[in-house]
Structure 1
């Protein structure tokens, strides 16, 4: 189980590191069949020049922290707002089958790590 969790967290972290790096390097092409609402949302994000770099930094830092067992609890908290945004975007603006499925699985992995590390968060809420 320990190795399974590490592999899942490694893949999760690498996905977010990749997504964060793409915010700076723009190496992943935009899907051509993207819904018009998704294009409009992306255009709105681009009007704020600081937003995508901020999200990219959060994704890179959160992904790196998520990979390492000692910092995974912090990584899970850092990634959570981005993950909620991804899930909401994929369920409302772009509800295509592969996107919402991947978003839901990633959200469940993040939720699993939050629950798995709940003892570490007790000092924050007491």
Structure 2
């Protein structure tokens, strides 16, 4: 049971590291899937043309590395938290495919477990 946070941190970190490396390597999703709504296409175009997505992916990489290291896990969660919320909002409001998908549920479950496991370290953030 004491190794469970290490396993969860490694899995969550590996996912975000892989997502960011795939972006920087130029790996595209396979063609032939469903066509995204116009809002999602417009949002993706704005993110890509302004360079904003590069910044997000740098923070995903940094957060993934920090989450995978037990001593820096909570700093990684602080970085990845807003990114996870934005991914959920994107899928719910722009992509319109909902937040109840396997990958999204897995990411949220791992992040919430790690927050719960490290809750004592976050106690100092009170007012």
Q: TM-score, normalised by structure 2?
A: 0.83
Correspondences of 1:1-126 after superposition (within 5 Å): 1-29=1-29, 32-36=33-37, 37-49=39-51, 51-96=52-97, 100-126=101-127
Structure 1 residues 43 and 34: alpha-carbon distance in aligned structure 2, compared to 1, 3 A threshold: same
| Cα distance in 2 for residues equivalent to 1:70 and 1:109 | 17
CA contact (8 A) 2:10 2:67 kept: yes
- For residues 88 and 6 of structure 1, the distance between their equivalents in structure 2, rounded to whole angstroms, comes to 28
2-side partners of 1:44 and 1:20: how far apart? 18
String of CA shifts for 1:82-124, please: whole Å, max 9, x gaps.
Answer: 0000111112222437973321321222122122212212222
TM-aligned CA deviation for residue 7 of structure 1: 2.3
**Structure 1: gaps of 5 or more residues:** none
Runs (4 or more) in structure 1 with deviation over 4 Å come to none
Q: Higher relative contact order by CA 8 Å / sep ≥ 6: 1 or 2?
A: 2
Instruction: Say whether the 8 Å CA contact 2:10–2:68 is kept in structure 1.
Output: yes
Question: Is contact 2:92-2:99 (8 Å) kept?
Answer: no
CA RMSD of aligned residues (A): 2.2
- What do the CA deviations read for 1:20-53 (whole angstroms, capped 9, x no partner)? 123322113255324123222211211312x111
**Matched residues, number:** 125
